[in-house]
Structure formats: structure tokens, C-alpha cells
Amino acid sequence: MYPFIWLVAEQCTPLANFWGHGVVLVNTDEAGTLSVTNFRLLFVSEASRDIIELGTIPLATIEKFTKQVVKLSSGQRQSEKTPSRRLLQVIGKDMRIIMFGFRPRTKQRRSIYEALSRYTRPAQLWDLYTFSCGPCNLINSNPKSRLLDEYHRLLGKRFFHASSDNTQDEYSMSNDFWRITSVNSDYTLCATYPSSLIIPKNIRDEDILQASSFRARCRLPVISWCNPVTGAVLARSSQPLVGLMMGMRSNADEKLVAALCTDIVDGKVSRKSNKKLYIADARPRKNALANGAMGGGSESSSHYSQSEVVFFGIDNIHAMRESLSRLRDYVDTHGTTSSDGMSSFLRNGGWTWGGGNLSSMSASVSTLGESGWLNHVQSVLAGSAWIAARVAMESATVLVHCSDGWDRTTQLVSLASLLLDPFYRTFKGFQALVEKDWLAFGHPFADRMGIPTVSGSGSTPSELLRQTSTRSLSTSSIRTSGSGFSSTTGSSSHGQTSNNSSPIFLQWVDCISQLQRMYPCAFEFSSAFLVTFLDCVLSCRFGNFLCNSEKEREQAGVWDNCSCMWVSLTNLRAAEGDSHPHHNPFYDPMKHDRPLLPAAAALAPTIWPQFHLRWACPSEAQGGELEAQWHILSKKYADMSKAKERAVLKAKDLKVRTDLLAAELEKEKQACSSSLTMARRACRENLAIKRAIQSLGCKVQFSTDGGLESGGTRENLPSSLRRDLHAASGQSNEGMDLSVSIVAVDDNTDDNMVHVNTLSRVCDTFCPFRTGEGCKWPDGGCPQLGSQFVGLKANFDAFDRLSIYDQYFGSE
């Protein structure tokens, strides 16, 4: 359903000779090419060349596969000549049953079967695909540091970050009530416990060593979750070794359990504690008593102060394995893509409503109930809710255990912690919860999933047997009623015979999906995230869930040689942000910031459609359609928001450009105004010059040819005026914009010159400064003008303000 995980994972090609053309996926009646890679069984459609998800399954997800031979339906007379059809049934741990049909008289089925026999159950841990592909860029940091970070959060040390460089400081961390101990740092105390443990502060490491010998597999009582405000504690352990008559006792164990009951008054530990102690035994009472014959058993309330022993009656791993198998058969039988190639609407007389008569429908409902899966889920939910209520409402101490303390105990403790602590309902908190209660405290993932581990070969090929299928045709994936098959002539199975495999972890995730249905706003992650999460675990694509304990993963070098699932999922979500399908769009942390305490009447589980029905009923598997529609609308909204942001940026850019143009235009206006002012000033100056020169008896003409014409001779002009005219003509030649022509009029030209001469004679007659050389003005003084002429380089603004023009030269 979520192929992006596998696109990242598979960097391989089909193994040599392990492929087949013209193979039919019976579930959907689609032809294609079937091949076996070192990671998965791959089915590609011949028509579209697309990968068909139903027919593509990781090798580690395959639970078992079976060869079957059937004869096609035909008349009785031709039954002996009817060709047989060769089938290969593949059953997955993820609720799918796949049926492949091969052409007769070919060796394709044999090659596929042999490849699956070789690669689905590797003999050694290092033969798994996750070791061959390496960590890539999904490096797994040390989970022991992350466990310490979670311990510090529980103790109230939220601002301390664990590091492998300061182990002494890490293990010495404590508050007033509890402390972190390194007594199991080398795993000699308990091989299946983590290297660091939280214990009561007043318990010494020597007491821990003594108490461990009284519990099965040395899994002594330790703190899994605690509340530093109320002193409430959720602890876990394995069964006590009390024996058949429940007569064995341990002072160290009783002292340790009593120390778990911390009564806090005004932030201090009360010496006289009246806190209630509940001992929750996950097993049925009869099973606990039966374990007493083998040295185990359960506690006696008389041996533990103010205690009460409660039995939850949850069945063992074998019952869970058989229950899920029956549920898988039910879903395949009544699905739309069943492994026999028929829809449930065509079976049992498809002419009636609902795909069969009413009696057959009632039988199908009865089959669902007989699977027992929903009852088991309800038992786990009810037990976890009871534990959470005792811790939250009474601030009590609850000690949970089963036989070994790593299956039912882990389910109850982790689910109760999820109900108690809102942090565990976030992405980051969910990772911390899984790594603490499931991985660090030694849930045997290798045994439960049937994969090898370092302490043994696990489910190796030597443990896999060929056996005759004992399943009846009415309940198997090969059915005769209304189908195209007539009879089974032979079959052989290649499956897992180990009694240790069980869907314990899958059942726990199923319980979380039920809580999501009851509290749709309480979880940051969606049901789609849980489906992808389970696919990652079952496929063994990543190294996080290999082996049976923290010790084994450290010995195998899993953290350094395998990719990290958490990094992959985080990168996946980061690509799309909150619009990714893994995010719950209705998550409201403020609404559910306290413990979730569901009532018993609300704990009525249903089939988890996104997981249980996704292969057999694809259209009905979209149980979160409202959520899916929200994601579609959210994506559209995100696209529109991005478009809006681009439009706003573009508008801002246009505004900036407009402002720049307006500023440039304003500068141009100022420059134009300045030019006009300068032009007016130049015009006035030219007019003043023109008047001054005309007053000297010269003609002034303006032209644009760049030339300076001079009529007559300049020698008749005064020497200072000649210098100014020469400078003016030089500037005019340089600019070439405007030329000024000054023509000096001869003595005998016209009346104007006569007038000037007459005026000159008058001045010469009466001028007291007159000499023999003639008038020296403007170089000399003049009694009429009163001063010397300052020439063309004078201050023309001041010159323009003089009134001498009208007085001496007249108006123009």
C-alpha cells in the first residue's frame, strides 16, 4: 500500500533463473512476470509493466508457501485428459494470501519455489537483506543513549541530553525517589534487560543482584514509567519462582517491590507509606498455577504489604498465532480479491443479496467470532485501561508480569503508558515507547517473526518441513464451490514449524488503532503511519527489530551495519510536512493533555480495515476516508497557499520595481526642473551679454553651426572685450551646442555707428580722464559710468539686477 519504503530499499535485480513469464495472479486474474530478488517476491504486470502490490511481498514477510496442483473443471468423460494447473500459494504475515498460477509443463514454479526456500529463511542473521544493503544514509544512532534520554524525561531531568561519552554522569542521574543504575551494564545481571535500569533510590545494587535470582530469567521488578509528582509507578518483571505450593519467598524481592510503593507528601517521600500495590498477572489463573509445577507461579498477597493480585486471563502466544491465522482465512474467504480468484459476491449462489443466502452470511459472522482475534484485542485493551486507571486515579503502584515478562507484559505496560502519558502519543514519544518497552526490555522479535539471531540460527531452512496441506478445501484458498477448480491432486508446503512465532507486536499495534478510533484527536500519527510502521517491521528492511534483545543487537553490530527505520520515516514525513498521510489531521494536543481512561463499554474492538482488509477488500480498506479526504483538501490548500505566496512575492517585486521607477521619474522631474532653471538663467545671462555687447556697437547673432563669425575687425574693440570674446568663442567651439557671432560694425557702416562715434566724441570732449591715446574705458575709469567695466566674466546675476540697461542703453 505504501511502495515508497520499498523504492528506497530495493537496489537489486532478480536472482538468476528465479523468474517466470506468463504467471497469473489468481486473486485478480492478471498475467505478469514473477521474479525473486534478494529482498522480495516481485510481480510485474505484462499489460501495464507496473508493479502489482498484491503480488509483491518482501521475503521476510512471507510466513509460508505451498505448491498445489488442481485439475480444471470439465465433463466426467474427459476428466482423465483434463490438464492440471500448477499453483503456488504464498501466505504473508501481513494478512494476505496470494495465489500464483503457472503454465503446465514448465519449470517456472519449481525455480520460484526453490528460490523462496533458499532466501525466505536465511541460515544466519547476516544473510538478511538489511545487512547486504548497509546503513546508506539512514544511520542508526546508539539506542542506549535515546533510552537514557527517556529515563531522564521520566525522572524530571528534561534538559539533560545523554551521551556515550559521560556514562558515569548518566548512570548517577536521580531524583528524590528513583535513580538510574548501571548494574546491568555488561548484561550479566539479566541478558534480556537493558544496560541501564530505573530502580528506587533506597535500593542498593547488591539488593538488585539478590532479588534477580527470585524471578524467571532474572527479570526482576524495575520501573517502566513513573510520575515524579504523585509517585505513581508502573513496573514490570517476570513471574516469581514460588514453586508448586507457592511457598518460596525472597526478602530481597519483597523489599524491592515494597520500595516501588513510594508515597509522596508535599514533594517528599513519606516514611509511612499507605500506597496500594497491585500485582497484575496477565495470564489466566489456571495457567499461573500450572507454571507453579515448573517452578514458577504467582505472588501471594500475604507476602507483599497492602497488595492485591489480579489475573487478566490473556492467552499465550500460541493462541494468538492460531487466532490470527483464522482471521486471515476469514478475510480471504469473504473478500473481493480472494486467493481462489472469486469475489464473495459470486460464491454460494451469487444471485442472492450480499453474495449468498442469509445462512451463509450468518456463518461468516460466526467464523469471524470464532477466530477469537477481536476477543484477544479486547482483553489487552481492558487490561491496559484497568492499569492506567489505577495509576492515574489512585496514584498506585502496579507491577505487571506474565511468565517470562516479554510478551503480554510488554503489551500491557506499553499500552498503559500510552494511555497515561500524552508524550507517547506523538511521533517522538511513540519511538521512545517502542524502543524502551519493546526493544530495550527484550521482546524476542527474532523468535516471534521467525528470523535468525546471533544466539541461534532461529528459524533456519532445516526447521522448515515439506508437509501435506491439511486445510480443507472449504476454508483454504483453493475452493471448489463455484470456482474454476475441481480437485486437488497434490500439494506440498514450505512453512514455519517453530512454536515461538506469534503476532504479539502486531496485536499491540492493532490495539493502538482501536484507541485511535475511540480518540481520533489524541494521536499525532495516523492509522496509515501504523500500517507503514508494521510493514517496515515485518519486512526486516531495517535493523531496529532484529534479534531478541539489546545485548544481541549490540553483539551483531546491528546499529552500525543496518539502516534505521525511524530516520527513514522521519525523512519521509519531512518531505511533505503536516500534509503527509502519516500525520493525523485532527490531532489536538490541548484537548487530550491528560491520561486517556476509556470506559469498559467503549472497549469493543472492530476489524482494523486499513490493515486487515487492505489486500482482500481494497476498496473497503479505506476506513479513514474522511482522513484521506482531509489530506486531499489539505494538499490542495497547501498548493493554493504556495501559489498565493508566489503571487504575493511577485506583487512585492512589482511594487519594488514601481517604486524604483517612480523614484527615477522623480529624479528626472527634478533634473528637468533644474535644467529649466539653468536654461532660464542662461537666457537671462545671454540677454544681459547681448545688451552689453550691443551697447558697444556690436551685432550679436546666435547659431548652432558651431562657428563664430566676426564682421569687421576686432581691433576696434577694447582690449578687455577682445579677450572675453576670444574666451567665449573657445568655449563655444568646445561645446558645439551653441555658437555666438559677434560682428563689430565699421565706422562708416550705418547710423548706429555714427551715434556711437558721436557719443564717443562727446565723452572725449568732456572726460577728465581723456588722454592723447583716447578713451581708456573699460580699462580705465569713466566719470559717467563711475567705475570700470568688469567684462564678460562678471557676476551676471548681480549685473542683471542693475538698472543701467534702461538708464544708459535704453530698452530693447
Place of cell 507453579: 292
Is the pLDDT at 84 greater than 90? The verdict is: no
**What's the pLDDT tens digit per position in 527-583?**
999 999 999 999 999 999 999 999 999 999 998 889 999 999 999 999 887 788 899
688-701: average pLDDT: 72
Report percent pLDDT > 90 for the chain.
Answer: 49
Res 364: pLDDT:
60
Letter string b/e over residues 648-668, b meaning 16 or more CB atoms within 10 A of that residue's CB: eeeeeeeeeeeeeeeeeeeee
Q: What does the block give as the cell for 660? A: 524604483
> What is the CB neighbour count within 10 angstroms for residue 306?
15
Res 167: pLDDT:
46
What is the β-pairing status of strands 397-401 and 277-281? parallel
Write down the mean pLDDT value for the chain.
Answer: 78
**What's the pLDDT tens digit per position in 487-540?**
344 555 665 546 789 999 999 999 999 999 999 999 999 999 999 999 999 999
Of 71, 134, 126, nearest to 104 (Cα)? 71
Letter string b/e over residues 518-542, b meaning 16 or more CB atoms within 10 A of that residue's CB: ebbebbbbbbbbbbbbbbbbbbbbb
Q: What does the block give as the cell for 461? A: 531452512
**Is 68 buried (19+), middle (13-18) or exposed (0-12) by CB count in 10 A?**
buried
For 18, what's the count of Cα atoms within 13 Å in the CB-facing half-sphere?
20
**What's the pLDDT tens digit per position in 111-132?**
999 999 988 888 888 889 988 8
Q: Which of the two residues, 683 and 78, has the higher pLDDT score?
A: 683
Classify 699 as helix, strand or coil: strand
pTM: 0.74
Question: How many whole angstroms separate alpha carbon 539 and alpha carbon 62?
Answer: 9
702-713: average pLDDT: 47
Res 722: pLDDT:
54
Res 69: pLDDT:
79
- Please state which of the ranges 37-41, 217-221, 308-312, 363-367 shows the lowest mean pLDDT: 363-367
736-765: average pLDDT: 53
CA 584 to each of CA 110, 406, 581: distance values in angstroms, whole numbers, following the listed order: 46, 30, 7
Asked whether 262 and 230 are in contact (CB, 8 A), the reply is no
Helices (H), 345-454: 358-371, 373-394, 408-420, 427-433, 445-449
610-635: average pLDDT: 78
Amino acid making up residue 461: P
**Dmax over Cα atoms in the chain, in whole Å?**
163
Binned at pLDDT 50, 70 and 90, residue 241 comes out as: very high
**What's the pLDDT tens digit per position in 452-461?**
988 644 443 3
Cα-Cα end-to-end distance for the chain: 101
Binned at pLDDT 50, 70 and 90, residue 72 comes out as: low
Element (H, E) at 197: strand 197-200
Active-site residue flag, 521: no
For 421, what's the count of Cα atoms within 13 Å in the CB-facing half-sphere?
25
Res 195: pLDDT:
95
Asked whether 435 and 143 are in contact (CB, 8 A), the reply is yes
Question: CB-based contacts of 614: which residues, under 8 Å, 6+ apart?
Answer: 1, 95, 531, 621
**What's the pLDDT tens digit per position in 633-680?**
777 887 888 899 999 999 999 999 999 999 999 999 999 999 888 988
Res 161: pLDDT:
46
Which position among 133, 190, 226, 402 bears the catalytic label? Answer: 402
